Amino acid sequence: MKKSSLLLGLFIVLFSFSCQKDPELPQVDPSSSAAANRWIYDVMKQVYLWLDNLGTPISENSDPEDYFEALLYRPTDRFSVIYPDYQELINSLNGINLEAGYEFTLYRESQNNSNVFAEITYIKKNSPASLVDLKRGDIVNQINGTQITLDNYRELLGKISAQHSLTYSRFDEGQGGFVSKGEISLTPVQLAENPNFLDSVYTINGEKIGYVVYHFFAPGPGENSPAYDNEMDQIFADFKAQGIQHLIVDFRYNGGGFVSSAVNLASLIAPGVSSTSIFSKTKYNSFITENVESLRNVQTPFKSKPQNLGPILEGNRVYILTSSRTASASELIINGLKPYMDVFIIGDVTTGKNVGSIPFEDEENPSNKYGILPIVSQSFNSLDQSDYTTGFQPNISAKESAERLRPLGDVNEQLLRKAIEQITGIPSGARVQQLDRVDLASTLDRKTRSGRMIDRYRIQ
């Protein structure tokens, strides 16, 4: 079996004695489906978390995606995936994608017709979308001049990775309704998205509040870059210098990412932790634990960070903003902080992913471009708690779909407003219109990192 370049050295020890080629198997074309499927099975029969429930292999000449799917323990395994190109997979996990730089959520226009509209959720910095008149809360009705409907929205979503047009409108407070903004054209680029989307400090009714919006976990734009983690360190250093009393962390669009960045962020928040304090524990399948002693009791410690805010947060509490798409590494932070402080959740029930993956590529066969992300581990906190497969329940329930979107960072924006009200104990007095709608899908659902927690060595 071929190892991933991101694996722990300890895994290499395991693979070296257990992945000898079967001399009885006939040779196959390295570029064939059979070659890819043999590699897939070699990986899965050792590292898959639900090894005892590994599916029966289908024909090795099958399409690799079908072959991989046949091995999975569905529906328990909701997250293992295969990708046709390993390098594109790694780029995407680092936030590098071919895109125009905006995200949106889809809703039905009415129960009386099949029309669908897209509400822009955020615009990425230094992207093509940031150079045109497109804002959070804008409504898109047409893509390439075609009305979005229940029947075609999946097909139309597939067109936004190439040059495309959007026909959209914007809510006008003065007119009390949406006003057409016409059509704009967008050309995607290879964009390196910075997950550190926004940070701010507010002083409201004598309370100093730090607020940070973090969209995914990645150390930097490349495999060896710590730029994003370093930027987060500086954000917290600024919060500390300004003497904030409360911290709000916005994970509503955060579907996961690198474990190393989750450890970094948690280490900036948790009170009284050091490099000997346990952030999380990781457990593997029976084959791995029986054969590699070092992987029988894996514990990940916090980092000792001078920018840590733990001692200055009132009530030993952090406020986390969530949605149904808050997953994996975001949930790892919630779970990992709970033994050390009060984690107060505002938003929707989270995804419920307490398991992790590792990216594998076939390094010995360059003709096999496939990459796989099988579930290989389960995560626990320092108290051995891991029971959140149905998601974390919020302390204060709020769905973003219930109100018209305001700019992120606006103190009257729904989730931030509710957090500020909780901190100050004073209602904001904001006048809002309640909306009755249920989201159908989001562009975030299509992200490789959605529902992943990724490290240099493991992914969850």
Residues 148 and 269 reside in one and the same domain: no
Closest by CA position to 369, among listed 82, 73, 127, 10: 82
In this structure, what token pair is assigned to residue 68? 């991989």
The answer to whether residue 51 sits within a structural domain is no
Q: Answer whether residue 460 is part of any domain.
A: no
Residue 460 has pLDDT above 60, yes or no: no
Max distance between CA atoms of the chain, in angstroms, equals: 77
Q: Do residues 168 and 223 share a domain?
A: no
> For residue 200, is it within any domain?
yes
Q: Give per-residue pLDDT as tens, 328-358.
A: 999 999 999 999 999 999 999 999 999 998 8
Is 0.85 topped by the overall pTM? yes
Whether residue 285 is found in the same domain as residue 416: yes
Given 191, 222, 252, which residue is the final one in a domain? 191
Exposed/middle/buried for 386, CB within 10 Å: 0-12, 13-18, 19+? middle
d(CA 392, CA 386): 11
The whole-angstrom separation of Cα 96 and Cα 80 is 21
For 269-308, how does the pLDDT look when each residue is reduced to its tens digit (9 = 90+)? 999 999 999 999 999 999 999 998 889 989 999 999 999 9
C-alpha dihedral over 158, 160, 161, 164, to 10 degrees? Answer: 130
Do residues 169 and 241 both lie within one domain?
Answer: no
- Flag whether 405 is in a domain: yes
Best CA proximity match to 109, nearest among 455, 440, 337: 440
Residues with Cβ within 8 Å of 241's Cβ and at least 6 positions away in sequence, in order, are none
Q: What is the pLDDT of residues 37-47, one digit of tens each?
A: 999 999 999 99
What average pLDDT does range 70-85 have in this prediction?
95
ω into 221 cis (within 30 of 0) = no
Residue 423 to residues 204, 318, 348, 420: CA-CA distances in angstroms?
9, 10, 19, 5
Q: Could you tell me if 123 and 214 lie in one domain?
A: no
CATH at 128? 2.30.42.10
pLDDT higher than threshold 60 for residue 20: no
How many distinct structural domains can be found in the chain?
2
On whether both 314 and 382 belong to a single domain, the answer is: yes
Identify the domain boundary among 191, 223, 249. 191
Whose CA is closest to 143, among 119, 168, 122? 168
Predicted confidence band of residue 459 (pLDDT cuts 50, 70, 90): very low
In a domain, 256, yes or no: yes
pLDDT at 358: 86
Structure tokens at 371: 């990459």
Last residue of a domain, one of 191, 218, 234: 191
pLDDT at 137: 98
What's the pLDDT tens digit per position in 421-437?
Answer: 999 999 988 888 899 99
Q: Are residues 372 and 295 in the same domain?
A: yes
Alpha-carbon gap, residue 318 to 242, rounded angstroms: 17
Residues 145 and 116 in one domain: yes
DSSP string, 130-153: GGSS--TT-EEEEETTEE-BTTTH
**Residue 350 and residue 250 in one domain:** yes
pLDDT band for 258, please (50, 70, 90 cuts): confident
What's the pLDDT at 448? 58
Looking at the structure, tell me whether residues 155 and 232 fall in a common domain: no
Regarding whether 284 and 402 lie in a shared domain, the answer is: yes
Owning domain of residue 360: 193-432+448-453
CATH of the domain at 256: 3.90.226.10
238: Cβ–Cβ under 8 A, 6 or more apart, which residues?
Answer: 199, 201
In terms of domains, do 203 and 294 share one?
Answer: yes
